[in-house]
Amino acid sequence: MGLAWTAMGGSTLYIETILVEQGEGKGALHVTGQLGDVMKESAQIAHTVARTILLEKEPDNQFFANSKLHLHVPAGATPKDGPSAGCTMITSMLSLAMKRSVKKDLAMTGELTLTGKILPIGGVKEKTIAARRSEVKTIIFPSANRRDFDELAPNVKEGLDVHFVDDYNQIFNIALGEDPKRED
């Protein structure tokens, strides 16, 4: 689950990734959901970084080299753009590739770079309120947004477990961790 800023405030953004076809050399990514150019670029970056991380964590896993994937952002009638879903996209892809479930009450936002860095985003207040509305208990924000979060009213922050990250590996440990059959 990602978090988005919209003209109406914040909203949650679900990212779905499925395996379409497997076979040697079939590695590809197809994206849908009325995504703008920046969000399409974020999906490509997420796919590239996911390949790198998978090879680091599971050197024998050739999932991305041999799998055609379809990434979709539901609510296709609503145009979506911006870079802050990159960390959510890569998490969705790695969850599928590694057969690990993502924590259910977790939402995240952050622009992903090709080197795995997580860059700051806008709309921290709106995204936090959207997370609360969706009964999210854990939020991941870029470290550069810590001050924005700290300035929020106490009632907006209350009861949330918030993590601030600089690098995707930190998100991986929170979202996918070491438990491949997560039940929480």
CATH number (domain holding residue 108): 3.30.230.10
Q: Does 183 reside within a domain?
A: no
For tokens 């795995």, what's the residue? 116
Q: Give the pLDDT score at 78.
A: 74
What does the alpha-carbon distance between residue 11 and residue 2 come to, in Å, rounded to a whole number?
9
- Give a yes or no: residue 9 inside a domain: yes
Q: Does residue 145 belong to any structural domain of this protein?
A: yes
Q: Which long-range contacts (CB under 8 A, 24 or more apart) does 172-177 make?
A: 172/53, 172/91, 172/94, 174/103, 174/106, 174/138, 174/140, 175/91, 175/95, 175/102, 175/103, 175/106, 175/108, 175/140, 176/91, 176/94, 176/95, 176/98, 176/100, 176/102, 177/100, 177/103
Domain tally, the chain? 1
- State the catalytic residue, choosing from 42, 84, 92, 95: 84
Domain span holding position 98? 2-175
Residue 137 a catalytic site member: no
Residue 142 lies in a domain: yes
Q: pLDDT digit of tens for each residue in the chain (184 aa)?
A: 999 988 778 899 999 999 999 999 999 999 999 999 999 999 999 999 999 999 999 999 999 999 999 999 998 667 788 899 999 999 999 999 999 999 889 999 999 999 999 999 999 999 999 999 999 999 999 999 999 999 999 999 999 999 999 999 999 999 998 654 445 4
Cα–Cα dist 116/97, whole Å: 18
Residue with tokens 């995204």: 127
Is 127 inside any structural domain?
Answer: yes
Contact 69/30 with Cβ under 8 angstroms? yes
Residue 13 lies in a domain: yes
Q: Are 89 and 121 in contact (CB under 8 A)?
A: no
> Pick from 127, 147, 148: which is nearest to 139 by CA?
127
Query: Is 127 assigned a catalytic role?
Result: yes
Decide if 75 contacts 33 (C-beta within 8 A).
Answer: yes
Tell me if 184 is assigned to some domain.
Answer: no
Distance CA 55, CA 67 (A): 14
- Please answer whether residues 21 and 67 qualify as being in contact, where contact means their C-beta atoms are separated by less than 8 angstroms: yes
> Rounded to an integer, what distance in angstroms lies between the CA atom of residue 98 and that of residue 81?
27
Q: Does residue 181 lie within any of the structural domains? A: no
